[in-house]
């Protein structure tokens, strides 16, 4: 049976949960897949587990990463793949049985969509504040289904859980694959593809269990730090602003003057994005300045034909309140304002 989808699974020291992950792949209702398991120089029992599964299943292909790190492993796995569809997976996560079947069927029927992801469940249950932050992120990303909201919300955070995505391999050939650098490799790829007009959606079902553990890359690797996210967002936002002809004569106003907003502004500033002023409802901040730019009250908001708003406020619930306020003032998301936090 020829495969119709290639699962790319980079793994490094993943022995604790790897068997459970591989079991979930072998339990897929879609049987015509190949698995490219790329061992990134593991020093535990990862390779033994992979080889044991491969001996009993010819669909599983195990290779050692010829480079070093996640990006090299991902690109090597994609290069080895024999199909036109690439499904991402991580060694500590669990595919629900119908994941591949539903994503492959979706891409077969909707030729205009380049990437399809799905809703995910975050486990184990969050107990501390840091893990609750990930739970809130999962709730946010699960609320975004169709392409337009993904495009509009792309600068807030990474719009997909990486191992939930399946995409057309031709996108790699046309627009490039994963890139090494001081940035989250998946977020950079999605921002690049979205900037090129690639349409992305989610199947509105939970088809992946996304494991959260203390040593996950997004917690310990500086490429996934808040600063790294700010920098890559600012870089692609600069491109977006330059391509929007309707913004040429409008000043840019940032809404938010808190600690996170200031850090994000510094990244905008380093990209050469010219900001005219800040808005913040906090009376203690009104009248002060950030980099010589005044902080004003929201009631001093210019009309949408004269300005474009970048929402930098990061307090939980603040973005929603600001969007509701701007919408009441006839500001249109994507045309008169965008959220960055």
For residue 215, pLDDT over 80 is answered with no
Closest CA to 339 of 313, 316, 315: 313
Where b means 16+ CB within 10 Å and e means fewer, 119-129 reads bbbbeeebeee
Q: What is the mean pLDDT of residues 298-326?
A: 94
Instruction: Report the SS3 class of residue 50.
Output: helix
List Cβ<8 Å contacts ≥24 apart for 98-102. 98/28, 98/29, 98/207, 99/28, 99/207, 99/208, 100/5, 100/7, 100/28, 100/29, 100/30, 100/33, 100/166, 101/28, 101/29, 101/30, 102/203, 102/205, 102/207
For residue 202, pLDDT over 70 is answered with yes
Instruction: Name the pLDDT band for 217 (thresholds 50, 70, 90).
Output: low
Listed in order, the ranges of the chain carrying CATH 3.90.550.10 are 5-224
H-assigned helices in the chain:
15-26, 46-55, 70-80, 99-109, 129-142, 147-152, 170-175, 185-195, 217-220, 226-243, 259-270, 318-328
Give the Cβ contact number of residue 59 at 10 Å: 16
The yes or no reply on domain 5-224 and CATH 3.90.550.10 is: yes
pLDDT tens per residue, range 27-39 = 999 999 999 999 9
Average pLDDT, the chain: 94
Among the residue ranges 89-98, 163-172, 197-206, 210-219, the one predicted with the least confidence is 210-219
Q: What is the mean pLDDT of residues 309-321?
A: 95
For residue 334, pLDDT over 90 is answered with yes
Task: Give the per-residue pLDDT at 216.
Answer: 62
For residue 245, pLDDT over 80 is answered with no
Instruction: Name the pLDDT band for 246 (thresholds 50, 70, 90).
Output: confident
For residue 219, pLDDT over 60 is answered with no
Identify the architecture of domain 227-339 in CATH: 3-Layer(aba) Sandwich (3.40)
pLDDT tens per residue, range 53-71 = 999 999 999 999 999 999 9
Listed in order, the ranges of the chain carrying CATH 3.40.50.720 are 227-339
List Cβ<8 Å contacts ≥24 apart for 213-216. 213/92, 216/92
For residue 89, pLDDT over 80 is answered with yes
For residue 91, pLDDT over 60 is answered with yes
Structure tokens at 140: 């946010």
Among the residue ranges 1-5, 108-112, 213-217, the one predicted with the least confidence is 213-217
Q: What is the mean pLDDT of residues 163-192?
A: 96
Q: Check residue 303 and report its DSSP letter.
A: P
Q: How far apart are the first and last CA of the chain?
A: 46
Q: What is the mean pLDDT of residues 255-261?
A: 96
Structure tokens at 133: 């932050």
Instruction: Name the pLDDT band for 220 (thresholds 50, 70, 90).
Output: low
Q: What is the mean pLDDT of residues 1-22?
A: 97
Closest CA to 108 of 74, 83, 76: 83
> Can you name the residues that pair with 255 across neighbouring β-strands?
279, 311
Task: Give the per-residue pLDDT at 48.
Answer: 98
Task: Give the per-residue pLDDT at 6.
Answer: 98
Give the Cβ contact number of residue 178 at 10 Å: 17
pLDDT tens per residue, range 127-150 = 766 667 788 999 999 999 999 999
Supply φ then ψ for residue 61, to 5 degrees: -115, 120
Percent of the chain topping pLDDT 90: 88
> Can you name the residues that pair with 307 across neighbouring β-strands?
251
């Amino acid at each position: 049976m020829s495969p119709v989808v290639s699962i790319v699974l980079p793994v490094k020291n993943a022995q604790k949960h790897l068997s459970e992950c591989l079991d979930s792949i072998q339990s897929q209702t879609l049987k015509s897949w190949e698995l490219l398991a790329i061992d990134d120089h593991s020093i535990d029992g990862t390779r033994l587990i992979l080889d044991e599964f491969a001996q009993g299943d010819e669909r599983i292909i195990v290779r050692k990463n010829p480079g070093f790190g996640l990006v090299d492993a991902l690109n090597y796995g994609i290069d080895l793949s024999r199909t036109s569809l690439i499904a991402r997976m991580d060694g500590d996560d669990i595919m629900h049985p119908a994941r591949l079947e539903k994503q492959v069927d979706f891409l077969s029927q909707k030729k205009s969509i380049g990437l399809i992801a799905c809703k995910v469940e975050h486990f184990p249950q969050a107990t501390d504040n840091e893990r609750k932050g990930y739970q809130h992120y999962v709730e946010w990303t699960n609320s975004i289904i169709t392409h337009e909201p993904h495009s509009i919300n792309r600068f807030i955070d990474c719009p997909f859980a990486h191992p939930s995505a399946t995409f057309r391999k031709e996108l790699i050939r046309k627009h490039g694959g994963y890139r090494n650098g001081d940035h989250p490799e998946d977020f950079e790829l999605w921002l690049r593809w979205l900037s090129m007009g690639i349409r992305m959606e989610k199947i509105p079902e939970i088809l992946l269990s996304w494991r959260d553990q203390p040593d996950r890359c997004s917690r310990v690797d500086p490429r996934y730090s808040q600063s790294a996210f700010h920098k890559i967002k600012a870089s692609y936002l600069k491109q977006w602003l330059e391509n929007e002809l309707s913004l040429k004569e409008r000043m840019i106003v940032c809404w938010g003057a808190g600690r996170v907003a200031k850090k994000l502004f510094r990244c905008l500033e380093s990209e050469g994005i010219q900001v005219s002023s800040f808005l913040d409802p906090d009376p203690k901040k009104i009248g002060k300045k950030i980099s010589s730019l005044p902080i004003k009250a929201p009631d001093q908001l210019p009309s949408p034909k004269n300005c474009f708003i970048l929402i930098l406020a990061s307090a939980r619930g603040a973005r929603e309140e600001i969007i509701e306020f701007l919408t009441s003032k006839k500001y249109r998301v994507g045309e008169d304002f965008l959220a960055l936090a």
